[in-house]
Amino acid sequence: MKHKKVHRTAISTESPQSQAHERTYSNLEDEPEGNRINDLLSRFKNLHAALTDPEIDDSFTSFLEDAKEHLDDALKIIILRKYPQFHDQPGKTRAALLRALEAKSDQEGCAIFAEAVRQVSDQVIKEGYDSSFLRRDIIFSSALRTFDEYSKQWKTITYLAPYVTLIGHSMAGKTRLLMEMSQHICVIFICLGPSDSNGYPPRSALADYMLAPNLINSDTHYTIPVAAIFRAVVKFFNRQDGRMNKEERLKEWNDYIEVAS
């Protein structure tokens, strides 16, 4: 019994337009805005061929507005769940977010994030520190009143020491707030940044001493520099001309510690 050879030919039922759109949304994100919108509009027309051009324009505009809001929210939630360490990191583009989600492994996704994060130059950051302090009455004045109020309530029986902790993520404005305070009160700033950091503000010379490992007696270790700092502050202001006003005295102090640090 002879068997007939049967030749099977795979026939694609997709239209050329459909094949042309076999790109992921992350690929579209890398293109200019106009190209991406035109590409999405072309897809939208193929899916709604029965609509007239005016109807297409209105429907597509409405679709873009609704879809963008939902897609942005969904993307944030997915990133928070899968890559929580990169959720608040600045400099990420939507294209990078989508490529990270399409990565074959978490390691590959993390590498995409690390490469995509925009590195802000030291000069740009420094210009931010030197710029005017915005919303001063709301932020600075309120903080100063709060510090003053709580310092008056300090009691050795209740609190270990009269201190305030400013907590916030990177670039939140903690250092800039201290810089603004230095125009009104005496501020001693010690930056304990990483030893290999070349960012701004620069790491202080006292950082190595303040972060010394394996301390036997930490009380003595930290009492010595703190006492020396307070003594230097008292001697500096006592040497100043008593006829100087507050602004002049603080300016001299700020100029001095900028050079000394």
**What is the full per-residue pLDDT of the chain (261 aa) written as tens digits?**
444 444 333 333 344 444 444 444 444 444 455 566 777 777 777 777 777 777 777 777 777 777 777 777 887 888 788 888 777 766 667 777 778 888 888 888 888 877 766 555 556 677 777 788 888 778 888 888 888 888 888 888 888 777 788 887 777 788 888 888 898 889 998 888 888 776 678 888 888 888 888 877 788 888 998 999 999 999 999 999 989 999 999 999 999 887 665
* CA atoms 220, 222, 225, 226: torsion sign: negative
Give the pLDDT confidence score for residue 9 in this predicted structure.
36
**Residue where one domain finishes, among candidates 83, 118, 153:** 118
Give the pLDDT confidence score for residue 230 in this predicted structure.
93
Q: Which of 18, 140, 30, 47 is nearest to 94 (CA)?
A: 30
Range of the domain at 77: 58-118
Please report whether residue 156 resides in a domain: no
**Residue where one domain finishes, among candidates 98, 118, 138:** 118
For the chain, what's the residue count? 261
Please report whether residue 147 resides in a domain: no
Please report whether residue 108 resides in a domain: yes
Angle between the N-to-C axes of helices 106-116 and 94-101, in degrees from 0 to 180, rounded to the nearest 10: 170
Bond from prior residue into 201 cis (ω within 30 degrees of 0)? yes
**Residue where one domain finishes, among candidates 118, 138, 160:** 118
Give the pLDDT confidence score for residue 70 in this predicted structure.
76
Please report whether residue 26 resides in a domain: no
Please report whether residue 105 resides in a domain: yes
Please report whether residue 52 resides in a domain: no
Please report whether residue 198 resides in a domain: yes
Other C-beta atoms within 10 Å of 113: how many?
20
Please report whether residue 208 resides in a domain: yes
Total domains, the chain: 2
